[in-house]
Amino acid sequence: MIENQDRGAWSSKLGFILAGAGSAIGLGNIWRFPTIVGENGGAVFVIVYLLCVLLLGLPVMIAELSIGRKTKKNPVGAIIELAPGSSWKYVGYLGVLTGLIIFSWYSVIAGWVVGYLYKTVAGEFNNIVDPAITGTIFENFVADPVITIFLTAFFIGLTSYVLLKGVSGGIEKTSKILMPLLLVLLVVLAIRAMTLDGASAGLDFYLSPDFSKLNIKMVLAAMGQALFSLSLGMGTMITYGSYLSKKEDIVSSAVWVCGFDTGIAILSGFVVLPAVFAMGIDPSTAGPGLIFQALPGIFSEMPGGQMFGVGLFTLIGIAALTSTVSILEVPVAYVVDELKWSRRKSVISMALVSFVLAVPSALSNGASDFFGNLFGEGQSYFTVMSTVFGDLTLALGSLFIAVFVGWIWKSKNVFKEVEEEGNVFPMKGVYEIMVKYVSPIFIAIVFGYTVWDQILK
């Protein structure tokens, strides 16, 4: 197979699944999922979330991977190739922009993880179980402008380094070794967390649904979170699909990636929520600090806790890295393909742009009142960016991708692409109904209602 040197390719199906899972599994699973479950009342949210993965996530993932493998291009180039001369290319541009902004605020949180790794190594949490103390440590830490900006820059630099080493060398190798290790460590920690004193209230919250809590805002949050966690709606999976070889089975790869990702998210709920309740933290108001306050409480309650803490923060950091790599790869692949810049120049310039976008996010959590309340009392630059470019544009992007595939490119071309070298697309009729009707209508209703409820009403 002749490949453009600057594009690269996955070395095997397992390589792709692990890289795809590496993209999907990240802070979205370990940091954002438990936080959002906490804010949205627990078990009911989890049920809605699982439905979103099945009804939206899987069909859109198959759609994105097929578009990518068919065209072997970045999202903008891919859509231009499939619908030349149309306005559909703006869906690709929206993805490139979304990628830059998600990467910027995501790197701030990833920087916190690195900071917590350092704190754990230094023994700062040994024997601390009082949530008031872990809360204060967190607040002081994120309010320090120098440290948070430095750590953000560090993480952006790390991501750029991996991207410069190219696709299969950098991304694939990292994921292959470390994702399975993360799984094992989470299982051990979940067992410890679930047996803490007072943990059962957390399990109850997580597992017994109270349907009176169901509301449309929660459905939007679940939808946004499902798309975010599966890396959908901005062309990451188009880009990753473009590195996939024709003999691989897109459908089964997508099922594996969705399964792994959802499994890790659910598992981190079993680590974080029991600990949250055991420590007496209120999950509905804790915000982005939730896991940083709760996790130290688990480590101080187990033999060798410091070691487990160091292990966990290391692995979360690496999971975040395999995700940031896939986020920044979208703008980079766009510039490499469409502007014909070298990979090096593309990576460095995109990294610099996102660093500039990241600084206000780093300053949003106590360092600067201005950015902390930029969009009104308590509505920080960070909060708004992570909602608009973490939920809304991903939902919009997925809506357009589903409509594009269902109505313009047509599902028969997805089937053709999937079956290119002898693989079989199961349940074609179901898939067609999903991308043509179910996914787009579902997103449109939730999205439309939210816009009406929050802005127009």
Q: Which is nearer to ligand TRP, 129 or 171 (CB)?
A: 171
Alpha helices in 282-426 (DSSP H): 290-299, 305-338, 343-362, 369-372, 381-387, 393-403, 411-418
Among 22, 28, 92, 366, binds ligand TRP (CB under 6 A): 28
Longest dimension (CA), the chain: 63
Binding track over 253-292 against ligand TRP, x by CB under 6 A: ----------------------------------------
Q: Which stretch binds ligand TRP (CB under 6 A): 139-147, 192-200, 321-329, 380-388?
A: 321-329
Nearest CA to 232 out of 4, 7, 443, 8 is that of: 443
Binding track over 226-255 against ligand TRP, x by CB under 6 A: --xx-x--x-x-------------------
In angstroms, what is the minimal distance from the CB of 125 to ligand TRP?
24
In angstroms, what is the minimal distance from the CB of 370 to ligand TRP?
27
Q: Which is nearer to ligand TRP, 196 or 238 (CB)?
A: 238
Among 175, 323, 361, 364, binds ligand TRP (CB under 6 A): 323
Q: Quick count: other Cβ atoms within 10 Å of Cβ 145?
A: 14
Nearest CA to 199 out of 296, 279, 302 is that of: 279
Q: What DSSP string describes 280-308?
A: T--TTT-GGGHHHHHHHHHHTTSTTHHHH
**Residue 25 · residue 179 · CB < 8 Å:** yes
Q: Which is nearer to ligand TRP, 317 or 366 (CB)?
A: 317
Q: Which is nearer to ligand TRP, 28 or 288 (CB)?
A: 28
Radius of gyration of the chain from its Cα atoms, rounded to whole angstroms: 21
29 lies in the binding site for ligand TRP (CB under 6 A): yes
Q: Which stretch binds ligand TRP (CB under 6 A): 21-29, 108-116, 198-206, 369-377?
A: 21-29
Q: Work out the angle at residue 107's Cα, subtended by the Cα atoms of residues 102 and 109, and round it to the nearest 5 degrees.
A: 105
User: Which positions touch ligand TRP (CB under 6 A)?
Assistant: 23-24, 26-29, 102, 228-229, 231, 234, 236, 323, 326-327, 394
